[in-house]
């Protein structure tokens, strides 16, 4: 099966700010791939090809094939450095993975049924405290996203990390640190219109 996220790279001999600037002027991105009980390796990728991948949300929570000098390595994308003033990627960090070892990855949250929820029907507005959550699992169990159903959320109520429905074999990293880390994910707040309607 072909991985829909394949990053083609070449090994990079030179390092340092000067070398990185020269690469960026040529339309290339300096990067590093590390972990997996191997030494870190500096690599370089084509900027335009990387942009195509980064436009898809799933790339941030997906097992990737990073092909360096023709040899594929399984990895996850751990860091993206962007130029805030221009549409430019400055640097990428990839972490090698072992399919038999647990990984920690930030997975996006997809909120559904906001407007048809109990609070939404009363004019409430969902306020998101989180847009992603760090999970721990085997690479084969890594979800592309986690769905958060707001159907039963009323005005004044919140959903916490412990309320999230997780796929089998997936755990939330924060919850393993104790009940005090069971933070709110989303709350249903009364809008100005719903407050005025209630007062009337």
Backbone angles phi, psi at 121, to 5 degrees: -70, -20
For residue 17, what are its two tokens?
A: 């700010």
Q: CB neighbours of 119 closer than 8 A, spacing ≥ 6?
A: 126, 150, 153, 154, 155, 156, 157, 188
In which band, very low, low, confident or very high, does the pLDDT at 142 lie, cut at 50, 70 and 90? Answer: very high
Ordered by start, the domain boundaries in the chain are: 6-96, 103-199
Query: What topology is assigned to 103-199 in CATH?
Result: RNA Polymerase Alpha Subunit; Chain A, domain 2 (2.170.120)
Which pair of structure tokens corresponds to residue 5? 């996220």
Of the two residues 17 and 185, the one the predictor is more confident about is 185
Taking 80 as the threshold, does the pLDDT of residue 199 lie above it?
no
Cα–Cα distance for residue pair 27/46, rounded to 1 Å: 6
Structure tokens, 187? 């709350």
Q: Give dist(CA 185, CA 131) in Å, integer.
A: 8
Tell me the longest C-alpha to C-alpha distance in the chain.
71
* CATH architecture for the domain at 6-96: Beta Barrel (2.40)
How buried is 3 (Cβ within 10 angstroms: 0-12 exposed, 13-18 middle, 19+ buried)? middle
Q: List pLDDT tens digits, range 15-71.
A: 667 777 788 888 899 999 999 888 999 999 999 999 999 999 889 999 999 999 999
- pTM score > 0.85 for this model? no
């Amino acid at each position: 099966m072909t991985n829909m996220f394949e990053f083609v790279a070449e090994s990079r001999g030179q390092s340092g700010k000067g070398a990185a600037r020269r690469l960026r002027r040529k339309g290339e991105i300096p990067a590093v791939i590390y972990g997996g009980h191997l030494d870190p390796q500096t690599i370089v990728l084509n900027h335009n090809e990387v942009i195509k991948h980064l436009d898809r949300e799933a790339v941030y929570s997906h097992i990737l094939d990073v092909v360096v000098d023709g040899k594929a390595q399984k990895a996850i994308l751990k860091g993206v450095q962007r130029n805030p003033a221009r549409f430019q990627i400055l640097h990428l960090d990839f972490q090698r993975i072992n399919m038999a070892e647990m990984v920690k990855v930030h997975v996006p949250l997809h909120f559904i049924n906001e407007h048809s929820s109990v609070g939404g029907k009363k004019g409430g507005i969902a306020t998101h405290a989180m847009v992603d959550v760090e999970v721990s699992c085997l690479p084969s169990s890594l979800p592309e996203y986690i769905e958060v159903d707001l159907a039963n959320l009323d005005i004044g109520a919140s959903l916490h990390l412990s309320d999230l429905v997780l796929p089998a074999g997936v755990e939330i990293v924060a919850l393993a640190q104790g009940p005090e880390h069971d933070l709110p994910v989303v709350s249903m707040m009364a809008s100005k219109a719903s407050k005025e309607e209630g007062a009337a």
